[in-house]
A and B are shown apart, each in its own frame.
Chain A
């Protein structure tokens, strides 16, 4: 019995059949690259080159080419680290949390969001790794015996928790992404014409046949991985927030940080997903798969999480006043009215005020406007991390330590360069793997409720 739900719009429009789904989604893989893909990929390579040059200069000359100093010892590097890790959260959130909540609209966007997670975590990892300075002894962060040069690691340190959290998050996200890809890789294996393509897709499809027995176990393994990934995604950004919250720096030493950081991560992650998908649906002709309904759902989440983040900003201010702690009060007054007031108000405008526009249906259903707003969200979330890090550090307990900080050309180059890493990976992904989960989309074509 086939019937349309009276409650919801169709998740896939255009009366698509299963073969239409394969044809539409596999088109970029089976055909030669389009001009827009070539232009985008070349531009990404340029930014990747900027990253390479900036990194080489940093390694060759030393970490002194960054403007970080004895007071502001974390600057653009850790700002960028938290920015990229935050973006990396939407992928697992969309795949895992929305899977557990049986939200079928996730099916059109989960694949690219998971890919985004992996690429964003790679970008994030660059900053703490190279901030170490002597990157060649970076393995000291791992639990290795004393004979390797360092002592055993300190299990009380949030920085060590980060090593475990981010590496686990990356590995499990990669596994989750790959398991989700196997049926689609098998579809490409059976469609691709070239010998090299058949060999490569054959290798990575692991002999997938679509057996009913395998599908039953596959769905169970996906569900359990989703159940594992959900607390994992919460733990990762909670741990990132404890890098700050367990210190005694005014402006950092607050218990609100874990939920506030997690909400911020989801907010910025959805911002980046919206940036990518609004463009991808147009350029790759996926408008029947990533519909206005999908954009509507994503923007609602952006609005809700933006509001949670905004409430956290206001709560911080209230608690600083209510605590009676003069250092805490100064730190927050300095954020809003000190020399970095422009960064603070950029953050407030982009993260709290701007997303309120999504109360209006027009704003939630107009792709070009959503694209602009997604950029605003990303800019705002970068400023949030800059505000937290730089405004708290630049005014130490000792006025003699007070300094101003701005990123050097190398730091700016590294940050812009990570966009090169991110988009180079994303363009390669869009060329060689299905951007939308074909097998899941085929299962909802009948719109059963």
Chain B
């Protein structure tokens, strides 16, 4: 598996059914029902984090914490090596006749370097994994999904009972429903 999450892109998708919600609780309940009915929800777009939706759509637990730990170890090793090389190996400095070896006075620089490497390393992987790139074309299904609407996107597959799904969405409080095919949306 590559680092980039390819599920985030809407390019080369089959036909999709789009449901628009105003109410978060109704959306969560309906999404849960749809998944229990065997429907595969491609993604849900919300203007704010709605807890529990990731589990409903079957998103896997993120490995970012492990990556952060790896970055921390890298930062710590880099800083320790750097100080040892400069201060002990290459040019030992006699300042106040203090010993030129590992001392607790190295700790602040080692700590700061570790934090810096962890924060930027983890964030870099976060951006990469989530297809967050400066200047990239945003693939929003609805301009209001960053304002006040919650959007459910269901990718259709052969043999799928689209009418039953649309009925479930309507009963579940969807205020609008659309079809999305080849970059064009049609109101149902």
By a beta-carbon cutoff of 8 Å, the part of chain A in contact with chain B is 1-2, 17-19, 22, 143, 146, 151-156, 158, 160-161, 164-165, 168, 171-172, 175-176, 179, 182-183, 186-187, 189-191, 202-221, 224-225, 228, 231-232, 235, 239, 438-440, 442-443, 446
Q: Check: B11 CB closer than 8 A to any chain A CB.
A: no
Q: Check: B133 CB closer than 8 A to any chain A CB.
A: yes
A-B contact pairs, 30 of them (CB 8 A): A18-B47, A22-B47, A146-B91, A155-B86, A155-B109, A160-B109, A164-B109, A164-B113, A168-B115, A172-B116, A176-B119, A203-B134, A204-B134, A206-B127, A207-B133, A207-B136, A209-B141, A209-B146, A211-B45, A212-B50, A213-B59, A215-B50, A216-B49, A216-B59, A218-B130, A224-B68, A225-B119, A232-B112, A235-B111, A439-B48
Q: Check: B40 CB closer than 8 A to any chain A CB.
A: no
Over the window 86-100 of chain B, the binary record of Cβ atoms lying under 8 Å from chain A Cβ atoms (1 yes, 0 no) is 110011010100100
Q: Check: B103 CB closer than 8 A to any chain A CB.
A: yes
Interface residues of B in 100-114 (CB under 8 A from A): 103, 105-106, 108-109, 111-113
Contact in complex: A18, B148 (CB < 8 Å): yes
Over the window 146-174 of chain B, the binary record of Cβ atoms lying under 8 Å from chain A Cβ atoms (1 yes, 0 no) is 11100000000000000000000000000
Contact in complex: A215, B109 (CB < 8 Å): no
For residue B130, which residue of chain A has the nearest CB?
Answer: A214
For residue B60, which residue of chain A has the nearest CB?
Answer: A213
Residues on A with C-beta less than 8 A from B146 are 183, 186-187, 189-190, 208-210
Contact in complex: B109, A161 (CB < 8 Å): yes
Residues on A with C-beta less than 8 A from B147 are 18-19, 22, 187, 190-191
Contact in complex: A186, B112 (CB < 8 Å): no
Residues on A with C-beta less than 8 A from B59 are 212-213, 216
Residues on A with C-beta less than 8 A from B118 are 224, 228
Prevailing SS type, chain A contact patch: helix
The one of A151, A156, A210, A442 that contacts B98, using a Cβ cutoff of 8 Å? A156
Contact in complex: B109, A443 (CB < 8 Å): no
Contact in complex: B49, A443 (CB < 8 Å): yes
Contact in complex: B133, A206 (CB < 8 Å): yes
Residues on B with C-beta less than 8 A from A215 are 46, 49-50, 53-54
Q: Check: B129 CB closer than 8 A to any chain A CB.
A: yes
Residues on B with C-beta less than 8 A from A211 are 8, 43-45, 130
The one of B45, B119, B144 that contacts A212, using a Cβ cutoff of 8 Å? B45
Residues on A with C-beta less than 8 A from B47 are 18, 22, 183, 187, 210, 438-439, 442
Q: Check: B131 CB closer than 8 A to any chain A CB.
A: yes
Contact in complex: B48, A443 (CB < 8 Å): yes
Q: A160-B109, A217-B126, A228-B119 are in contact. List 17 more A-B contacts (CB 8 A).
A: A18-B148, A19-B147, A153-B86, A158-B108, A168-B113, A172-B116, A187-B147, A205-B138, A207-B133, A208-B132, A209-B8, A213-B8, A215-B54, A217-B129, A228-B118, A231-B111, A235-B108
Residue of A168, A175, A210, A221 with most chain B CB atoms under a 10 A cut-off: A210
By a beta-carbon cutoff of 8 Å, the part of chain B in contact with chain A is 5, 7-8, 24-25, 43-50, 53-54, 57, 59, 62, 64-65, 68, 82-83, 86-87, 90-91, 93, 95, 98, 103, 105-106, 108-109, 111-113, 115-116, 118-120, 122-123, 126-127, 129-141, 143-148
Contact in complex: A213, B130 (CB < 8 Å): yes
The one of B45, B87, B116, B131 that contacts A207, using a Cβ cutoff of 8 Å? B131
Contact in complex: B145, A172 (CB < 8 Å): no
For residue A215, which residue of chain B has the nearest CB?
Answer: B49
Residues on A with C-beta less than 8 A from B83 are 155
Cα distance A203–B136 when bound, in Å?
Answer: 7
Cα distance A2–B90 when bound, in Å?
Answer: 66
Contact in complex: B49, A155 (CB < 8 Å): no
Closest 5 interchain pairs by CB?
A: A18-B148, A207-B136, A216-B54, A206-B132, A442-B48
Contact in complex: A446, B129 (CB < 8 Å): no
Cα distance A220–B130 when bound, in Å?
Answer: 13
Residue of B90, B93, B139, B146 with most chain A CB atoms under a 10 A cut-off: B146
Nearest chain A CB to B15 CB, angstrom units: 19
For residue A199, which residue of chain B has the nearest CB?
Answer: B135
Cα distance A82–B120 when bound, in Å?
Answer: 26
Cα distance A50–B118 when bound, in Å?
Answer: 39
Cα distance A395–B116 when bound, in Å?
Answer: 40
Residues on A with C-beta less than 8 A from B49 are 215-216, 218-219, 439, 443
